[in-house]
Amino acid sequence: MTQKLDKSAKVISKMFTSLAPRYDLMNDVMTGFTHRHTRKFALELIGIVKGGLVLDLASGTGDFAFLLQNLMKSNTLIIGCDFSIGMLEMARHRLKTIQDVSEVNNLAFASSDINHLPFSDEIFDVCSIIYGLRNVQDPLSVLQEINRVTKPSGRFFIVESIIPDNPFIRFSLSFYFKNVVPMIASLFASNVQAYDYYFNSVEQFGTPIETLKLLKKTHWKRVTIYRLLFGSVIVYQIFKR
Ligand SMILES: C[S@@+](CC[C@H](N)C(=O)[O-])C[C@H]1O[C@@H](n2cnc3c(N)ncnc32)[C@H](O)[C@@H]1O
């Protein structure tokens, strides 16, 4: 096991800003486009939330927020929220490009640390955090804060990479991320070291049992878990009540 990762706001936001220009491309290349399948799966679970408010936390370049917008059209207000200036710039640039050719006015991106959300209590119908939770320093505090802003009737979705239980798949993934991904990153990305962070952060993130304990401690109620892509991705659908 590697040294405990520094997940302070300064280090994490700076790292993602350095990754931002090539983040979407690297996501496609590194995962062989499979991340699109997991996003689609989560999107189908969420479904259309008519006339509601949706919050996508740690929204990065906005990939999932745009999918939510595309699904819900103008019925719903969608807010993406992240603290990396670079990731937010990519999201806002993409939003502006879309706004120039269509009338997308129900999507916005807010700059905020998700430990301290600039929103009132119990206003969101749905909250999501896609490949974000393992990057935060204090998941307990983040889960508490998300619970605060979610309506009593609301739902919360987590999508996260996870170490698969099957030893063969675990070995293959570890080999791929430790040996092949750095080579791919050296071709496409400017900050190659950041791709070591990816697999280390997956290894150091808690087990599903630990995540369930955190959810219980932060007063989330019913949870359904789905394992995708040979157990390498986990999706939680969580109800506040
Ligand atoms: C792996 S990216 C995922 C981005 C996006 N959700 C996606 O699906 O592509 C993780 C994101 O979490 C953000 N992040 C990590 N900790 C955060 C925090 N405490 N507050 C706000 N954003 C955070 C990073 O800036 C980064 O954009």
What domains can you pick out in the chain, each with its CATH number? 9-239 (3.40.50.150)
Separation of 13 CA from ligand 1 center, angstroms? 8
Give distance in angstroms: CA of 122 to centre of ligand 1. Answer: 22
Lookup: tokens for 28: 């496609």
- Residue 96's contacts (CB-CB under 8 Å, 6 or more residues apart) are none
Q: Decide whether any atom of ligand 1 lies within 6 Å of the 130 Cβ.
A: yes
Side-chain half-sphere exposure of 211, counting CA atoms within 13 A: 21
φ and ψ at residue 139, rounded to 5 degrees: -60, -30
Q: How would you classify residue 215: left for phi > 0, otherwise alpha for psi between -120 and 50, otherwise beta?
A: alpha
Average pLDDT over residues 45-51: 93
How many A from CA of 199 to the centre of ligand 1? Answer: 15
Q: Is 30 in the pocket of ligand 1 (CB under 6 A)?
A: no
Map tokens 């950041």 to a residue: 194
How much distance in Å is there from the Cα of 58 to the middle of ligand 1?
3
Within 59-138, residue ranges assigned H as helices are 63-72, 85-101
pLDDT at 9 over 60: yes
Residue with the larger pLDDT of the pair 99 and 43:
43
CA of 59 to the centre of ligand 1 (A): 6
pLDDT tops 70 at residue 195: yes
Angle at 202 between CA 28 and CA 43, to 5 degrees: 50
Contact between 87 and 20 (Cβ < 8 Å): yes
- Residue partners of 11: CB distance under 8 A and separation at least 6: none
Query: Among 4-8, 120-124, 134-138, 139-143, which is the least confidently predicted range?
Result: 4-8
* Residue (of 192, 191, 174) closest to 183 by Cα position: 192
- 118 and 196 Cβ atoms separated by less than 8 Å: no
Any ligand 1 atom below 6 A from CB of 71 = no
Is the pLDDT at 74 greater than 90? The verdict is: no
Other beta carbons within 10 Å of 45? 16
pLDDT of residue 24: 93
* Unique residue bearing structure tokens 């936001």: 13
* Whole-number percent of the chain with pLDDT over 70: 99
Q: Which atom of ligand 1 is nearest the CA belonging to 35?
A: 8
Is residue 34 very low, low, confident or very high in pLDDT (cuts 50, 70, 90)? very high
Checking if the pLDDT of 1 tops 80, the result is no
Q: Phi first, then psi: what are they for 227, rounded to 5°?
A: -110, 130
Ligand 1 centroid, distance to 116 Cα (angstroms): 14
Tokens matching residue 82: 């992240």
Distance, first Cα to last Cα, the chain: 38
Distance 132 CA to ligand 1 centre (A): 5
DSSP-based helix, strand, coil % in the chain, nearest 5:
50, 20, 30
235 lines ligand 1 (CB under 6 A): no
Q: Ligand 1 pocket, 38 CB below 6 A?
A: no
The preferred substitution site among 11, 27, 114, 143 for testing ligand 1, maximizing ligand atoms within 8 Å of CB, is 114
Q: Count each helix (H run) and each strand (E run) in the chain, helices first.
A: 9, 7
Q: Is 157 in the pocket of ligand 1 (CB under 6 A)?
A: no
Q: Residue 105: what pLDDT?
A: 85
Region label for 192, one of left (φ > 0), alpha (ψ between -120 and 50) or beta (otherwise): alpha
